[in-house]
Every structure is written in C-alpha cells, then in structure tokens.
Amino acid sequence: DTAVSQTPKYLVTQMGNDKSIKCEQNLGHDTMYWYKQDSKKFLKIMFSYNNKELIINETVPNRFSPKSPDKAHLNLHINSLELGDSAVYFCASSPRGVQGAGANVLTFGAGSRLTVL
Amino acid sequence: AQSVAQPEDQVNVAEGNPLTVKCTYSVSGNPYLFWYVQYPNRGLQFLLKYITGDNLVKGSYGFEAEFNKSQTSFHLKKPSALVSDSALYFCAVRDNAGNNRKLIWGLGTSLAVNP
C-alpha cells in the first residue's frame, strides 16, 4: 500500500500544453509538498500546504498552480508548458505542522518525470 | 544566510570499507539536520536526523551521522559500505528564519560503492 502516490509516473507533452500531476498520501500527514528536481539532481521546493492552507510558495512562475482539495491530496497544474519545465516532480508529505521537528521528516512519492518537447 | 554545503559531488569507496559523506551547514539558532538518500529512479527516503542530544545519531540501513557544533558539520558515516548503498545522498537543514521552517537542501553527493 503506497504511502505517497503520484500519477502519472511519466508525462511527455508538447510546449504550450497544459498538464496536471496528482498526489495522494495515506499516512494521515498534515503537510504536503511539491518539489522539482532538475537534470543535475538539484532539489527545489515549490509549494507546501498544511491542512489545505498554502504555507510555502517559492519563486515559481504563476503557470504552476497547486490545489489541495483535502489534506490527503495535493495536485499540481501547469499551464503553457515550456522546455525548462522538463524535470522530475516529487510530491512529499510530513506529519504535524511546521513547528515540530517531525515536520521535516518527509515521505516522498516516486516522482513524475515530465518531458516537454 | 542559511545554507548547507556538500563539498563532494562524488564519493567512491570499495565495498567493505568505511564511508563518509560530508556536510557543513550555516544556520541561525539551533540546527535541525537531516540526511536523505535517493536510489536511482526513486523518491528520496529519510535516513536520520539530529535535533538535540547525542552528537552521534543512528539511522536506517546502518548509517550514522556525527554532529559537530564547532565545525558546523554533520557528516554521514557507515563502518562498512555495501554495493547497495550506491545512491545520491542529500543533507538538509531546517530554515529557522521565517515561519514556514522549510528544509534547505544540499546539492547532493553521489556515492559509488565498488565491489
């Protein structure tokens, strides 16, 4: 039973298209994240939600829009895809709120590899 | 500015030998330090953390890390490396500035354990 599952695993699309990646966690965690890992394996946080409330919104183009319908789900929608959006996108979750030390023990999904042609 | 550095892009070690993956940090206030591992084509997995207490922290898969306050380091160690330890290792520190306490990540160190 996968703890953090994201779909699709692979996504190949053309520039200018709109696409979504979905994420679900069954761990009962309060906080969920989206990370981007580029071709050099550099990891960058994009967004974080705590109990459906946006708490981290890094410098990300507004073509990227996260949505958290409930605390177990965090989806990422990307408009007008660009070549530079090609990367692996990881969803993660963590327990409790932002203050406790456990808040930084993240459980990651397996990743969604986005290729923009 | 708060930051974390992993000075080695790649570490090579023979199977059975001890391994060390280095990490240094700069943070305001008390450091909360973490190690994560990423196996090929997988998401990151939590290995261990230092919050307070003993400077030597034990984690998953036989890994441990030593917190050294004077050297602002948190090196990852294992007494005897396995080929299956070959992976990408990330050090992270909690950002104590601001309210969201996000993690600040190192650039990763690729560990290759040779049979």
For A29-55, what is each residue's pLDDT tens digit? Answer: 999 999 999 999 999 999 999 888 888
CA distance A73 to A81: 23
Residue B74 sits at the chain A interface (C-beta within 8 Å): no
Where are the alpha helices (H) located in B1-115, listed in sequence order?
none
Q: How close does chain A come to B81, measured CA to CA in Å? A: 23
Nearest Cα to B90, choosing from B12, B30, B21?
Answer: B21
CB B34 within 8 A of CB A102: no
Residue A1 sits at the chain B interface (C-beta within 8 Å): no
Residue A53: closest C-alpha in chain B: B100
Which tens digit of pLDDT belongs to each residue from B42-98? 999 999 999 888 999 999 999 999 999 999 999 999 999 999 999 999 999 988 776
Structure tokens at A77: 């929608």
Residue A111 sits at the chain B interface (C-beta within 8 Å): yes
Q: Which residues of A touch B111 (CB under 8 A)?
A: none
Q: What angle do CA A108, A105, A85 make, to 5 degrees?
A: 40
C-alpha distances out from residue B96 to A46, A105, B101, Å = 18, 15, 6
Q: What is the DSSP letter of B115?
A: -
CA distance A47 to A37: 13
Where are the alpha helices (H) located in A1-117, listed in sequence order?
none
Q: Which residues of A touch B51 (CB under 8 A)?
A: 101
